[in-house]
Each structure stands twice: as structure tokens, then as C-alpha cells.
Amino acid sequence: MKYIIFQDFSVQPVPFLFPAKVAHVDMRDQLPYSKVISAGYVRLDNGKFTCSGGDADLGISSRKEDAEIITRFFQ
């Protein structure tokens, strides 16, 4: 799957996960948040999220803390 983490209106990170066949830039255009914090690919391995990669069109990549941010939204 792919993901984008946006900064919401209260300056908090909000992750969006979506199918790999959807382009990051297309998903970005559909969401109301103005600031993209990070983007890339997310996997669930042995109960833990791992994030990697990025998107050249958005000019942004994954960060070390992204997996933790995504995990918090599932708790």
C-alpha cells in the first residue's frame, strides 16, 4: 500500500493509506490538507508497520517516524 501523511488544520500529522495502483499525486489532489509531511510505501510485517520510499512528483519521501504515526491511528 501507499501512504501520505498530511499536517491537519491543528498542525497534527494525519496518515492516509491507499492502494498501490493510485498515484501519490492523484491522492494528494483529492484531500483538503495543504501540507504534505511525508509519503511512500507502507507494509505490515509481523504486526509492525514499515515505511519506505517516497514520491518524486511530490518531491517527498518516507521518514523514520512515519510507521509510529500510522500505528497510533490503528490503536
Q: pTM for the complete prediction?
A: 0.93
Instruction: Decide if pLDDT at 4 tops 90.
Output: yes
Find the mean pLDDT for residues 42-56. 96
Q: Whole domain around residue 45: which residue ranges?
A: 2-73
Cell of 16: 492516509
Which residues, 6 or more positions from 41, have their beta carbon under 8 angstroms from its beta carbon?
1, 2, 3, 20, 51, 52, 53, 62
Predicted local distance difference test score (pLDDT) of residue 57: 94
Least confident window among 23-37, 40-54, 58-72: 23-37
Structural domains counted in the chain: 1
Least confident window among 31-35, 36-40, 66-70, 71-75: 31-35
